[in-house]
Amino acid sequence: ELLNGELFTSVSEAQLLTNNYRETYNTTRAHSSLGYLSPHEFLALDVRIQRMVLTRSAKYR
């Protein structure tokens, strides 16, 4: 997504933007495979609830 939508003017700019995107993607962005929760929200759930979420999201793939 990021690489298709950005025109980088320098290597340092590309590094900064990709690091920011990676951080957002891995912590705050909702993922359909996690029941539309962010990874941060998913990890805060009890393990039993995590299993239920993963089982339900697997049914819809």
Residue extents of the structural domains in the chain: 11-59
The two tokens of residue 51 are 């299993």
Distance CA 1, CA 41 (A): 22
Distance CA 43, CA 23 (A): 15
The two tokens of residue 39 are 């990874």
- In the predicted model, what is the mean pLDDT of the chain? 89
Q: Give mean pLDDT, residues 31-59.
A: 90
Q: b/e for 6-16, b at 16 or more Cβ within 10 A?
A: eeeeeeeeeee
SS3 of the chain: helix, strand, coil, percent, to 5 = 70, 5, 25
Predicted TM-score (pTM) of the model is 0.62
pLDDT tier for residue 10 given thresholds of 50, 70 and 90: very high
Looking at residue 61, what is its pLDDT?
Answer: 61
